[in-house]
A and B are shown apart, each in its own frame.
Chain A
Amino acid sequence: MNAVVRENQPSSVLVSLRNLNKHYGDFTAVDNISLEIRDGEFLTFLGSSGSGKSTTLSMLAGFETPSSGEILVSGSSLINVPPHKRDIGMVFQRYSLFPHLNVRDNIEFPLTLRKMTTAERQKRVDAMLKLVQLEAFAHRRPAQLSGGQQQRVAIARALVYEPRILLMDEPLGALDKKLREDLQDELRHLHRRLGITIVYVTHDQEEAMRLSQRIAIFSHGQIVGLGSGYDLYQSPPNAFVASFLGNSNFLRVKSVANASASFEGQSLTTVPVGGLTAGQDVLLMLRPEKIRALSVEAAQQTALPSGWNEISAKVREIVFLGESLTCNVVTPGGTELTVKSLGSGLQNVQPGADVRVRWAAADACLYDQWNDADLSKGAGAH
């Protein structure tokens, strides 16, 4: 990451990607990626399809050769090492088990390619079968297993030779929601128990949040956000990440002074941001659950806490979603905001009513640079 982290944990970096590029003709699939993967961490590449995450994973596995750049594992280059000598485990999206071998032979396959006694092989395969709870299915062919069972075999086959790194390319994409969540929990426990480094690729942000310690968000072949799910969600480094991860409201405001801005003529308090000139266009991002909407009467009764902002708006629509209530409001200037409320605070509000919208200045994020295309969902693909 940076010098400070490295000094504190000298052995912590396992894989370094340095200025990695992959071009297909004119098309740039991976655009100058640099990333350090720590030993034992669960890192997820998150991005929409075509964002370069799978290509990066393929280069790590050795199925694709980088156009330029370097891949280092424990300090030595992997660029000229063929896949079978990389000592990496991989779980594929469509499982890719060997259809001609039964479950036990599938798991044993990597071991038969290594110098190992039969007893040792048996012991390891048995341990793996137990780990993925498939002892009873050891003699079945892959075609006789359900999708979830096949994926567990694939995981066992990737783990049995104790690789340094486990790559997973959307491994749960083909499974239904319930099974996916069960396997996500299993995977998280497995990672905690084995302490193996896992690089996981997915386009499902909930899955990324649920599984990983760090998430790398890919867009147009670049990593546009890197950090824990919490950090990326609470303080996104840029407008794209804010829009891509979870739901977000964007307010176009004008900077007035260091810690104040104006929105549709109303003055707002913001967190102090350096480097802004007065009159500059700034994008203010608010998570829907950080905003409160109060009816006009309720707003009069409750004083505005210090450090909070209040603007007026009109309710357009209220949707009840079980655990939460979502309210769409429109400001006089036509900016739409989504307010998400877990409690019963919005109960008295009807569509068409005037409301006061409040938020704490500390909960808003400010961006002085953004691309309008990034603000819509589904951006990030080529």
Chain B
Amino acid sequence: MTALRTTLVDTATSGKARLASDRWRGAPYLLPALIFLGLFFLAPLIGLLLRGILEPTPGLSNYAQLFANSAYSKVLFNTFAVAGLVTLISLLLAFPLAWAITLVPRGWGRALLGIVLLSMWTSLLARTYSWLVLLQASGVINKVLMAFGVIDQPLEMVHNLTGVVIGMTYIMIPFIVLPLQATMSAIDPMVLQAGSICGASPWRNFFRVFIPLCRPGIFSGALMVFVMSLGYYVTPALLGGAQNMMLPEFIVQQVQSFLNWGVASAAAALLIVITLALFYVYLKLQPESPAASATAR
């Protein structure tokens, strides 16, 4: 929690204008990290991008092939729809949870936060498989619903996008709860009292004062979840079906089944470009840094 908040504050101060001489004072200390990133991240990334335009023959044929293929545009649509839906649902679920963690007495809040963190630290595969157990046609949920007579035949909740959305939402909730809870606990409760004495009913106070003050946490959490969802592989691969693929599955399929490195690289490059574009939009939409309200306290 503390670590998260300090990084947020750091970005806030670095955003402010500083003297030019000060700006590069600490630069030499960046070197080890830069060398590491250059060797193990940038170099392979450039290699990947080059593959997209060099294999099998130099040119933009891979991209042409991608855009000509309607299956690919469907994959792209699936990816964005799932990522958007996952972000929205996790926001709706994480907001009350973060609020509860902030409001309940100290010890209980920490216990709740512990549960959130624990679920995050548990193996991703184990958690995804347990959803498979829960959601499949002969799974617990279907059996219970059928026993109570709510449904006549099992719901198809797995091996399709529904399963993907359910599984991924569960996995993404902590990534919204953590920044949101940090933002909420930094809000001065007296500001909400001020809102109500000014004449704001509880509802209006919530939408006009509380939500705007939570905005930095909502934005950073939602962005993190959306971007992570775009590139998520394990959960869609296990809970999704062969019919409705997401982009990472498509890339893996191109590499593993068709050994089509060129198309896979082109698809990956597109994913990176889209992510960067979204990040730019986020920065534009969010004039104040994520820590703005936290520091204004």
- Chain A bound to chain B: yes
List A residues at the B interface (Cβ < 8 Å): 61-63, 82-90, 92, 94, 96-100, 109-110, 112-114, 141-143, 154, 157-158, 161
Chain B residues whose CB sits within 8 angstroms of the CB of A89 once the complex forms: 197
Chain B residues whose CB sits within 8 angstroms of the CB of A157 once the complex forms: 194, 198
- Min C-beta distance of B131 to chain A, whole Å: 38
Decide: A96 near B191, CB < 8 A? Known: A141-B296, A142-B296, A143-B295: yes
Decide: A99 near B293, CB < 8 A? Known: A84-B201, A113-B199: yes
Decide: A97 near B196, CB < 8 A? Known: A113-B204, A142-B296: no
Main secondary structure, interface of B, reads helix
Q: Answer whether residue B190 sits at the interface, using C-beta atoms and an 8 A cutoff.
A: yes
Complex Cα gap A98–B213 (Å): 8
| A-B pairs with beta carbons under 8 Å apart, 30 shown | A61-B197, A62-B196, A63-B193, A82-B201, A82-B202, A83-B193, A83-B197, A84-B201, A88-B197, A90-B193, A90-B194, A92-B193, A96-B190, A96-B194, A97-B191, A97-B194, A98-B194, A98-B209, A98-B212, A99-B213, A99-B292, A99-B296, A99-B297, A109-B198, A109-B200, A109-B208, A110-B199, A143-B295, A154-B194, A161-B199
Asked whether, in the complex, the Cβ of A114 is within 8 Å of the Cβ of B212, the reply is no
Can you list the 3 inter-chain pairs with the closest CB atoms, starting with the nearest? A99-B296, A110-B198, A96-B194
User: Who on chain A is nearest to B293 by CB?
Assistant: A99
List B residues at the A interface (Cβ < 8 Å): 188, 190-191, 193-202, 204-205, 208-209, 212-213, 215, 292-293, 295-297
Please name 10 further chain A to chain B contacts, defined as beta carbons within 8 Å, in addition to the given A98-B209, A99-B293, A161-B199, sorted by A numbering: A82-B201, A84-B197, A90-B193, A94-B188, A96-B194, A98-B212, A98-B213, A100-B212, A100-B293, A109-B198
User: Who on chain B is nearest to A113 by CB?
Assistant: B199
Chain A residues whose CB sits within 8 angstroms of the CB of B292 once the complex forms: 99
Chain A residues whose CB sits within 8 angstroms of the CB of B197 once the complex forms: 61-62, 83-84, 86, 88-90, 158
Chain A residues whose CB sits within 8 angstroms of the CB of B190 once the complex forms: 92, 94, 96
Asked whether, in the complex, the Cβ of A100 is within 8 Å of the Cβ of B213, the reply is yes
Complex Cα gap A83–B213 (Å): 21
Chain A residues whose CB sits within 8 angstroms of the CB of B204 once the complex forms: 113
Complex Cα gap A89–B213 (Å): 22
A-B pair number, CB within 8 angstroms: 79
Complex Cα gap A84–B205 (Å): 10
Complex Cα gap A62–B200 (Å): 13
Chain B residues whose CB sits within 8 angstroms of the CB of A86 once the complex forms: 197
**Candidate in B193, B194, B198 with the most chain A CB atoms within 10 angstroms:** B198
- Min C-beta distance of B17 to chain A, whole Å: 14
Complex Cα gap A62–B188 (Å): 18
- Min C-beta distance of A261 to chain B, whole Å: 52
Decide: A99 near B199, CB < 8 A? Known: A142-B296, A143-B296: no
Complex Cα gap A90–B212 (Å): 22
Chain A residues whose CB sits within 8 angstroms of the CB of B195 once the complex forms: 98, 109
- Min C-beta distance of B204 to chain A, whole Å: 6
Asked whether, in the complex, the Cβ of B198 is within 8 Å of the Cβ of A96, the reply is no
Complex Cα gap A171–B193 (Å): 15
Chain B residues whose CB sits within 8 angstroms of the CB of A63 once the complex forms: 193
- Min C-beta distance of B34 to chain A, whole Å: 34
- Min C-beta distance of A171 to chain B, whole Å: 12
Complex Cα gap A85–B194 (Å): 13
Decide: A84 near B193, CB < 8 A? Known: A98-B209, A142-B296: no
Complex Cα gap A96–B297 (Å): 9
Asked whether, in the complex, the Cβ of A84 is within 8 Å of the Cβ of B191, the reply is no
User: Who on chain B is nearest to A89 by CB?
Assistant: B197
**Candidate in A97, A109, A161 with the most chain B CB atoms within 10 angstroms:** A109
User: Who on chain A is nearest to B186 by CB?
Assistant: A99
Chain B residues whose CB sits within 8 angstroms of the CB of A98 once the complex forms: 191, 194-195, 209, 212-213
Complex Cα gap A86–B196 (Å): 10
**Candidate in B193, B201, B213, B295 with the most chain A CB atoms within 10 angstroms:** B193
Chain B residues whose CB sits within 8 angstroms of the CB of A114 once the complex forms: 199
Complex Cα gap A96–B193 (Å): 9
> Which of B194, B199, B212 is within 8 Å of A92, CB to CB?
B194
Complex Cα gap A146–B145 (Å): 61
Asked whether, in the complex, the Cβ of A83 is within 8 Å of the Cβ of B191, the reply is no
Complex Cα gap A141–B295 (Å): 13
